[in-house]
Structures are given as structure tokens and as C-alpha cells.
A and B are shown apart, each in its own frame.
Chain A
Amino acid sequence: MSGRVLAGRIVTALAVSFLLVLLVLPVLALVLRAPVSDIVDRLSEPLVLAAIRLSLETSLCAAALATVLGLPVAYLLATREFRGKHVLEAIIALPMVLPPTVAGVGLLLAFGRAGLAGRALGVFGLSIPFTTTAVVLAEAFIAAPFFIGAAAAGFREVESRYMDAAATLRAAPVTAFVRVLLPLAAPSVLAGATMCWARAIGEFGATITFAGNLPGVTQTMPLAVYVALQTDLDAAIALSVLLVLVSLTILVAVRAFPFGPAALRGQRRAG
């Protein structure tokens, strides 16, 4: 018996160690190679600054867009049963597994000049590809499932008795959603929005395919890293370290901040 336990522990320890090496080593390598002395100078170059600003703006817009459009979708998925729900869920989750470049090609074919919706938009003199709007769309497309998944899970976790109580107290469905479901699911919704934002900051493939790589217009931080890699390694490393820091901060915050879903569950159980 103890032999089996020991074997299990060894296998687990090996797996954890190997995974840690795989995950941590690249990050460590980045930080060790960081041009510590002039990292601030590197980051304050005009093109780098522009990329940082653009990344912040577009990722926040994309997260906001995904949240606003994603809330009703998450509500629908969490509260209603309908035919083809599994298919809809799969379609919504698709961007999480699709190569982002493929998503970019799809966006191009849909909203490009000759695309399905692009042609209609062209009639009004609107053209989306290779604009900042395209960056936002690409990021929202890739990052939205992160929000919808978390929000739907949060809505499902709210016990139905609270929504029943709201209805018996004459709250129309929209009122019940805003005043009961959303506050009770707030931890999951906030966590989902934050994860969505983090994914949007890191978006590369769909952006470069659909929006191109125009400095100051569509060149976000990940794109700037890619460009810098070919000319200025230190600048690429400086930007990469910054991206790692931002992403890590967000991920730690989502876990550590007391808006984790478990926090509210505990409070509810006590009540």
C-alpha cells in the first residue's frame, strides 16, 4: 500500500516539477535578460509608448464590448434551456481553441471590403480592416468567451430561490436581473471581465491578420514586441517583461481579491 502511495507521490512531484520548469523558465529567462539599467528609457521611446497606450485603450474597449454584449448571452445560457443550446455554447467557445490567425482571416472575410458585412458597411463609407476599430473587434472576438464562460457560471451559481423571491415581489425580469442576479453573481462577473481584459491585452494573431501592424493605429504591445524582435532585442525584452508583469498582476488580483466566487458563497451559507 505504502509503495503505491510513494509511487503516486513521485509521479506527482515529477509532473509538477516538469510543468513548473516549462512555465517558469521562459519567464525567468525574460526577467534575467531584462535591460534593467535602461528599461525605463526603452519603454519611453515614442513608438513603444504609443503601443502601450493603444494596447490599454483597445483592450479596455474590447473588454467593455465583450461585457456589454456578453451579459445577456451569459444570462440566456445560464437560465434558459432551448434547442441547439450546446451548439451555441460551442460556437461561443470556439475562439478559445481556434488559432487566432484563423479568427483574423474570418474577421477579414466578414468585415473586409469584399466581405459579407463589409460590403454593406462600404455602402455607408465605412471600412473596418486596418483601423483601431478592427483591433478592438479582433480582441473582443478572441477574449469574449473568457467573460461569457465566467459570467454564465456565476449566474448558474445563484440559487433560483432568490430570483423566485424577486418575481413574487413584482420585479420584472430586467429588474430582477439588475437588482438580484447581477449583484449576487458580481464576483464571477468581475473576475470574468478582468480575465477577458487580460486576454485582450495579449491578443496577437487575430489583430495582425485583421487589423495589420500600423504603428500608433493598430500596433499593440504584442505586435510591437514582434517587430522589435527583428531590430532591437532589448526593446522587445523590455516590452515583454512589462507584458508579463501586467498579465501576472491581473491574474494574481483575480485570485487574491475578495471577489472570488467562494467569498460570497461563504457569506451566504452563514446567512
Chain B
Amino acid sequence: MGLPRFVVSAGLVKRLGGLSLAATVEIEAGSTLALVGESGAGKTTVLRLLAGLTAPDDGHIAVDNQTWFDHKSGVSLPTWQREIGYLSQDYALFPHLSVFENIAFGLRAQHVDGPQIRQQVEAMLFRFDLEELKTRKPHQLSGGQQQRVALARALVLQPRLLLLDEPLSALDLKTRRSVRAQLRQTLASLPGATVYVTHNPMEAIVFGDRISVLESGRVTQNGLPDDLLRHPRSAYVAEFMGVNLLRGSIAAAEGGGLVRVQTPFGAVIAADSGDVGEVLVALSPREITLHLTPPAGSAQNVFFGPIVELVPEPPFGDRIRVALATSPPLVAEVTRHAVETLRLREGLEVHAAFKATGLVPYR
């Protein structure tokens, strides 16, 4: 039915220090956009621009057809008039107020009636399992508890746009796992849009209905997690998603449903997708098999080189990621069993083989 209706639509331009940001952010109602990128790529700046805590140099922000910012017409709604929820990395709970008063803060600021405030805050305390802690001060809480208070404090105002800045990064690993499951449920039930900033691939995939990748202030890719996995558009995206990415060109189809992709490191044989010219080829580490002797078989592509690193994935998991100093450098993922039978170790030279059918060029 026509064009997709974006609940949040923003074009943001800002020069700040060494960063030159020019990014488009679009989020549908009820969905979460995971915003990923390295430190200094501008993730937090995007959140601050959306929140109105930093003024854009140019651009526009519209939420539910309401203009929050428009450089051309000079509209700029102050932060306190934007219906947002904002969790900074350290949560910024008010140190002089109890848990109850922290959650009640926004309602009081809006002059909600006393009994209503009590009722809504109590509901939040119940929902986030904070009832026992309501008279505590923030410095008497654990990291996970502080995170829940910060979330309750923001959500009690029913924001149209929830901005989360690495909400799990301040937590230790053990807490992170339980909080992550809780947060996933909470976000799934929200009617508004959410921006979830993270540099953790797993969080991006778990939380993001879509993922936007920010590199040096530019969105280099925006899509479903699956798009990014299958068709990464930059070396950073490929590394973030844990897949191999090759850049090359196709002169002409080879016939038999195969093409020769000429890369700076030599040619690879790939499936014919109909594309010619400059292309990208993504290769899942699981498509690569490792051999001690040249493999005889159906794999059209074989590269030879030493093992650089063996990393279990996930930590202590069944599968091992094997980084290879082949040309081009590749990452393979094999079972722990394979590592043991082949006695794979750092420095060992191996043949890495993969089939053409696992490679689909795209532009």
C-alpha cells in the first residue's frame, strides 16, 4: 500500500570536533533501529541530535508527522518538548532522588496529579521488579538495577521515540545476559520507535529490526540484519557481521552458471547472478572447509596460507573461527571436532576451499 510510512524520519547534518556527520535515520512505528559503528563514528551524536541536546547544522527531524527540527523553516523544538526517552550510557539517575522520585520526575515535571503519579510509578516499579528498592538512592543500586530504573523513568512517559545509548555496556557480563532478555521483551512491546546504539554485533542482531551502520559520520549501509549478513557493503560491515567480503570485477559470464570474479588477490569462481562490472562477493565463514592437502572435489576455489588465530565462537562454544593469512585474508568457521582431527594450530599452513555456489556476486 504505497510508500512505507516512517514514524521517525530525519536527515541530520552536524560538524562537531573532528566529526563531519551527514546521516539519514528512518524508523517505522513499533520497530527498533540498531545503530552500529566504531567509537567516534557519530552514534551518540545522532542520538543527541534526535533528542535536541545538540543542535544540527542542517537537516530535519519529523516524528509522527510532527516537525521537531527543520533548518529551512527555523523550527527547533527544545528537548523538553520532544516526546522522547533517552538512556545515556551511564543512565544519569538523579543522585539526590530516591528510585520512586527518579521515576516520578517526568510526571511531576508535567504536573500530573499526585494520585495518578503514585499509580503510574507503582505500575512501573512492579513491571521492572523494583518495588523493594523504591526508597533507595541510586548509589545504593547495582548496575542492573540502575538500568531498570533508568528505563522505567523513561518509559513511564510513553515516549514516541526511545533512544538507548549502549544500554548494556555499563553492566558486567553476567548481568548483561539477564538484562538483555528483559530488555528485548520490553522493546518488543513498545508502540513507539527505538534507536538502539551498540558496537556489539550480537546486540545489533538481537535488538535491531533493521541495522544502520555508521562509519565516520556516514550511513554506509542500512537494512535487515539478514541483508547485512548476505550483502555487506563495506569491509567494516563484513567484519561486524563476521563474514568475508571480496571486491572485484566480472568481465563476462563464463557459462554453466558460473562467473570469474577478478579480485586484487587473484580470481575466484562464483555463481552467475547476472551482474557484470564492479561487484562485491560475500562469503560465510561456514562455507569454507580446511584441508592439510590440496582438496580433490567440487570446490572451485582453493587458497593456501598459514593460520593466524583460532578463536572459539561463542567463547567456549562448539565452533572455532580460524583467521587465515591467505591472499585474500579469509576467516573460516569450523567445528571443534575438525580442529582436533586436523590438529589445527597457529602457524600451520592449510588449504581453504569453498564452492562457487556459495558465492553470489552483488553490486
Interface of A is mostly: helix
Which residues on B sit within 8 Å (CB–CB) of A183?
96
Nearest Cβ on chain A to B161's Cβ, whole angstroms: 10
Given contacts A161-B90, A161-B92, A162-B92, are A168 and B109 in contact (CB under 8 A)?
no
Q: How far is the CB of B337 from chain A (nearest CB, A)?
A: 49
Partner of A165, one of B83, B88, B137: B88
Residue ID in chain B nearest A168 by CB atoms: B86
Contact B78 A165 (CB under 8 A): no
- Chain A residues with CB under 8 A of B51: 164, 168
Interface status of B60 (Cβ within 8 A of chain A):
no
Cβ-based interface call for A171 (8 A): yes
Q: Across the interface, do A166 and B139 meet the contact criterion of CB distance under 8 Å?
A: no
A167 within 8 A of B: yes
Contact partner of B106 among A161, A162, A169, A184, CB < 8 A? A169
A167, B94: Cβ atoms closer than 8 Å = no
Minimal beta-carbon separation of B100 from chain A (angstroms): 14
Contact string against A for B residues 72-97, beta-carbon threshold 8 Å, 1 for contact and 0 otherwise: 00000011110111101010111110
Partner pick for A169 among B90, B96, B154, CB 8 A cutoff: B154
Closest to B140 in A: A271
A83 adjacent to chain B (CB < 8 Å): no
Produce 1/0 per residue, B210-223, CB < 8 A to A. 00000000000000
Q: Which of A61-69, A88-96, A105-113, A172-180 contacts B (4 or more CB under 8 A)?
A: A172-180
The answer to whether B88 touches A179, judged by C-beta atoms less than 8 angstroms apart, is no
Q: Shortest beta-carbon distance, A160 to chain B, in Å?
A: 9
CB distance A179 to B139 under 8 Å?
Answer: no
- Taking the complex as formed, is B153 at the interface, i.e. its CB lies under 8 A from any CB of chain A? yes
Whole-angstrom distance between the alpha carbons of A179 and B101 in the complex?
11
**Cβ contacts B146-157/A at 8 Å (1 or 0 each):** 000000011001
Q: Is B110 interfacial (CB-CB < 8 Å)? A: yes
Q: Is A170 an interface position by the 8 A CB rule?
A: yes
B95 touches A184 (CB 8 A): yes
User: Separation in Å of the A151 CB from the closest CB of chain B?
Assistant: 17
B92 near A171: Cβ-Cβ < 8 Å:
no
Residues of chain B with a CB closer than 8 A to A37's CB: none
Q: Is B53 interfacial (CB-CB < 8 Å)?
A: yes
Residues B106 and A171 in contact, CB atoms below 8 Å apart: yes
C-beta contact mask, A145-173 vs B, less than 8 Å → 1, else 0? 00000000000000001101111111111
Does A171 contact B95, Cβ atoms closer than 8 Å?
A: no
Beyond A161-B90, A172-B109, whether A167 also contacts B96 by CB under 8 A is no
Given A168-B84, A169-B153, A270 and B105 contact (CB-CB distance below 8 Å) = no
Name the contact of A170 in the complex, choosing from B90, B94, B106 (C-beta under 8 A).
B106
Nearest Cβ on chain B to A269's Cβ, whole angstroms: 9
Distance, CA A161 to CA B165, complexed state (A): 13
A267 within 8 Å of B by Cβ? Answer: yes
Alpha-carbon distance A179/B104, docked complex (angstroms) = 12
Is A268 positioned at the interface, with any CB of B under 8 Å from its CB? yes
Q: Which of B85, B95, B110 contacts A271 (CB 8 A)?
A: B95
CB distance A166 to B105 under 8 Å? yes
Q: Which residues on the B side are within 8 Å of A170 (C-beta)?
A: 80-81, 83, 106, 109-110, 157
Knowing that A162-B95, A169-B153 are A-B contacts, what are 10 other residue pairs whose CB atoms are under 8 Å apart, sorted by A's residue number?
A161-B92, A162-B94, A165-B92, A166-B80, A167-B52, A168-B85, A168-B154, A169-B154, A171-B106, A173-B80
A interface with B by C-beta (< 8 Å): 161-162, 164-173, 175-176, 179-180, 183-184, 264, 267-268, 270-271
| 29 pairs, A vs B, C-beta closer than 8 Å | A161-B90, A164-B51, A164-B53, A164-B79, A164-B86, A164-B92, A166-B94, A166-B109, A167-B52, A167-B79, A168-B79, A168-B80, A169-B80, A170-B80, A170-B83, A170-B106, A170-B110, A170-B157, A172-B80, A179-B108, A183-B96, A184-B95, A184-B96, A264-B95, A267-B95, A267-B139, A268-B95, A271-B95, A271-B138
